[in-house]
Amino acid sequence: MDFEFTEEQRIFREAIRSFAENEIGPLVEEAEETEVYPVELIPKAGKLGFLCVRYPEKYGAAGTDKVTENIFLEELGRVCSGISSGFQVQASLGTSIILEHGTEEQKQEYLVPAIKGDKISAFGLTEPNAGSDAASIQTTAVKDGGHYVINGTKTFITNGSISDFTCVAAYTDKAKGASGGVSVFIVDRDTPGFSVTRKLKKVGHRSADTAELLFENCRVSEEKLVGKEGKGFSYLVASLMSGRISYGGRCLGVAKAAFEASTKYAGERIQFGKPIKDFQATKFKLARMAMEIEAATWLTYRASWLFDQGKKCMKEASMVKLYTSEVAQRVTNEAMQIHGGYGYTMEYPVQRYWRDARLLTITEGTSEIQQIVIARELGI
């Protein structure tokens, strides 16, 4: 196995790091303070070819791979995990089902504009009473002639209030259960019966747009059905596997940002006449942080490589999600300890890394769910 990134991947890392630091960085403080996502970044990234980087070139994307996609998410997460989440949905859950199962007309109408940054996507699965148990969603889509009538509520939807379209999961036949009764529909933001009922205020990821969506007799054409009726749950499972691998890059970004900030602060903070990095207690913290980040890095990029090879990697995807999210929490927690009282003030970004990391073991499948998946894949 080759443990080195290719020259193209190294060049891409430098390009996206420059974009993240120079274009996203200056907007972070205001976005976090106002809790308003800087939507102007989406078309700007699209023009530079930074959206949906692993999608095919024939649709205007870069046509790279999962490894490169995680490089992208790592560099964005290193600058701002909240803003990064909007890009992640655009590049995966909000569009991947259309890429894999949509008609050519759907791809031209939604996927191509999403790649260009002309349209923002969202993904509607979670509901007030259906989180980890995704099969228990209550949203329905009833066939009525050449249309479907959707009724239900979705919550915790990233890009929810800024999206131009949302891929929505709904039961078309509850009698068949999740495996044969769930379908996916594209709902445009101006569709009658669709509304954003509220934006959610959060402890962390304040710059991310997170909303609750309501569908009241929301009537969509049968042409908005993605793939086959009743096959939606299998599509969702495949998308979640890819998304969990992508979480590795996102978690690495937060962890590396916290580590870099801690190393810098430990060299500048003087106590008892010397920098705190010279004390064994701090050295050991930094050493363990570095070790865990390194282990998380290899786990993430190996799973990305497996995905690119077309190999079965549900187990590895859940391992990535479980381990990297917990590493992000441990690293940011130690970063707060190293910063001491200053870390608890809003003057230093380490408090943002700490707050943002707390979400990562919850979304995209909790740590508990990941352990269930891993055990099942191991046959135990």
**Can you give the three-state secondary structure of 346-364, one letter per residue?**
CCCCHHHHHHHHHHCCCCC
pLDDT of residue 331: 98
DSSP 292-344: HHHHHHHHHHHHHHHHHTT---HHHHHHHHHHHHHHHHHHHHHHHHHHHHHHT
pLDDT of residue 1: 61
pLDDT of residue 131: 83
Residues 6+ apart with CB under 8 A from 342: 265, 348
pLDDT of residue 314: 94
Report the predicted TM-score, pTM, of the whole model to 2 decimal places: 0.94
pLDDT of residue 355: 98
Which residues, in sequence order, are bridge partners of residue 219? 149
* Residue numbers annotated as active site: 364
Which residues, in sequence order, are bridge partners of residue 168? 124, 185
pLDDT of residue 266: 97
Each as own residue / partner, the long-range contacts of residues 143-146 (CB below 8 Å, 24 or more positions apart, any chain) are: 143/172, 143/222, 144/219, 146/221, 146/222
Low-confidence ranges of the chain (pLDDT < 50): none
Domains of the chain: 7-116 (1.10.540.10), 121-233 (2.40.110.10), 236-378 (1.20.140.10)
